[in-house]
Structure 1
Amino acid sequence: MAYRVFRNYYKVLLNARTFSFLPRIADGTRYKSTIQYATRPDLPRLAYRKLTGKSPGVVFLPGFASTMSGQKAEALEEFCKSLGHSYLRFDYTGCGASDGQMEDYNIGVWKKDVLYVLDKLLEGPQILVGSSMGGWLMLLAALARPEKVAALVGIATAADHFVAAFNALPIEVKKEVEERGSWAFPSRYSAEGFYPLSFAFLREAEKHCVLASPIPVTCPVRLIHGLQDEDVSWHVSLQVAERVLSTDVDLILRKGGHHRLSEKEDIKLIVYTIDDLIDKLTTLG
């Protein structure tokens, strides 16, 4: 097979540079880059934070209804700053500090956001780090801009998630959603217990599904998933590992890991994985 599976993943971390920033995260004294806005002629302004530095750069893609101010996003900025590598995190259109309302947009628009970042805000190949829905978007970006993607790191990758969740509903419920024109998508992260998704959102998302056939992505791919993830099954990451054409694929399963993978030990693993990729890509370069 073209991938390797690590269970109960752990390595002895001897490289002090990798985690020298972690105490600052623990005591809350995080470094923050300045928020900037990209003005685009066809879409609302896009909010982002950027560090300039060495290549390959790192780009963080948040999950659905998440922002660039989450724990993982901020921890990765500290890490990249400690190494002197470039880093960019941003909010999708309609989310966080970016303009617009989230319910007005869809997977296709958020894919355009990622491509805009790669095309207009960055130079050189990037390591895309996608969390949940961001893992789906990183695959779409790698397919659309292979020359600009050096490697992928998926954190609880939610490829095809909304479509798969809708298709798993009983037939009568799906008919009700279609007739009503909206679906209360269950979520433990919403105060209401759900996010409203339009039927049009679901139909548009179908255009971007990737798991039904081989995925022609050939760069290094690292997929990290928690076995205790109650939102997106680790089997989705396994499907991605099986379908990408790359021969350099690691699937890392954390026995106690949950969906967000934002505990200190989870972040250590994510950072170590990216650090290892940077070393690999630098050596190859």
Structure 2
Amino acid sequence: MAALVVRWRGWSAVRRKVALFLAQSSGGIRCKSSIQYVSRPDLPKLAYQKVKGKSPGVVFLPGFASTMAGQKAEALQEFCRSLGHSYLRFDYTGCGTSESQWTECTLGTWKKDVLFVLDELVEGPQILVGSSLGGWLMLLAAIARPEKVAALVGIGTAVDHFVTAFKALPLEVKKEAEEKGEWTLATKYNEEGVYRISMDFIREAENHCILQGPIPVTCPVRLLHGLKDQDVPWHVSMQVAERVLSTDVDVILRKEGQHRLSEKEDIKLIVYTIDDLIDKLTTLV
């Protein structure tokens, strides 16, 4: 079983370079990279932004129905730029400025997006930073491309989430969703106030569930989760930590943290975590 360290709010030390970056960016994040598009045979174009730099690089994986334009994604881009390390953020198929409609996509669709990015758009080992559903996808990518993934950082990691949440519903609610062909899930993250998730999405996602047994991931893993997360329970990160085969695993719990962990102090902790991993991986080399 993986070694597990639980850390409460705070960090043991603030590196000088991190403090300098935070001071310089206090007036707001300024990202100058332009959006690029990559064509794929028989697949929709993907939109991405890339900063060239040293290895290990960092790749950001957004959450469900989210995009690369969020605060965390932008802050990490500026941090990696300040360190001289490569960084890539992108929109999944059907999300943001990438082609297609997200309602036509599956978890498998987005897994293919992540693998394409690792195979074609970046070079050398990468630290994958997955937010919410992106945390599920980062683990799937690490299983499929272990040689490409140097470390993982999960933020409110939503492994197996939609499948688990649907199975926990009352029988009558599940039956109604099956009859309609979609599950209406309340959310505060869009104007409509609901996600309309097709039953095809749920059924396809079952093929990618990984919490039933050992997770064959051996690289360093850091899992950040808010204790006040009302979308994905923090104990999901504990389950992931217990099941990954890696012996280098930390679970970092934020006492006041919400699901997205996008407040200034949350982003500061994410930056510290990535900086620590870069130092660790560079030292190992």
Shorter-chain TM-score tier = over 0.9
- C-alpha distance in 1 between matches for 2:167 and 2:25: 40
Distance apart, 1:29 and its partner CA:
5.0
Query: Once the 2 structures are TM-superposed, how far is the Cα of residue 161 of structure 1 from its aligned partner?
Result: 0.6
Q: How does 1:155-174 map to 2 (within 5 A)?
A: 155-174=155-174
Give ranges in structure 1 of 5+ residues lacking alignment. Answer: none
Alignment check: 8 A CA contact 1:9 1:252 kept: no
Task: State the shift of 1:250 in Å.
Answer: 0.3
- Assess, with a 3 A threshold, how the Cα gap between structure 1 residues 214 and 29 changes in structure 2: closer, same or farther: closer
Q: 1:113 to 1:8 in 2, by over 3 A?
A: same
RMSD: 1.1
For the Cα contact (< 8 Å) 2:7–2:252, is it kept in 1? yes
* Distance in 2 of aligned mates of 1:227 and 1:96: 29
1:222-277 CA-to-partner distances (Å, cap 9, x unmatched) read 00000011111100000000000000000000101111101111111000000000
In structure 1, the partner of 2:185 is 185
* Aligned AA (1:42): D
Q: How many Å apart are 1:188 and its aligned residue?
A: 1.2
Partner AA of 2:106 in structure 1: N
Task: Tell me the CA shift for residue 3 of structure 1.
Answer: 1.4
Greater than 6 Å deviation, 4+ residue runs: none
2:16 aligns with 16
Deviates more, 1:213-222 or 1:167-176: 167-176
Offset, 1:17: 1.1
Equivalent pair of 1:108/1:205 in contact (CA under 8 Å) = yes
Which residue number in structure 2 is paired with residue 107 of structure 1? 107
Return the alpha-carbon distance in structure 2 between the equivalents of residues 171 and 89 of structure 1. 39
- Alignment-derived partner of residue 59 in structure 2: 59
| Structure 2 match to 1:127 | 127
Instruction: Normalising by structure 2, report the TM-score.
Output: 0.97
* Percent identical: 71
Shift of 1:24: 4.6
Q: Structure 2 regions of 5+ residues with no counterpart?
A: none
Distance 1:232 1:98 in 2: 26
Deviation at 1:32, TM superposition (A): 2.6
TM-score normalized by the length of structure 1 = 0.97
Q: What amino acid is the match of 1:11? A: S
Question: 2-side partners of 1:239 and 1:29: how far apart?
Answer: 34
Residue aligned with 2:129, SS: strand
What is the letter of the counterpart of residue 259 of structure 1? H
The residue aligned with 1:4 is 5
Partner of 1:93: 93
Count of matched residue pairs = 284
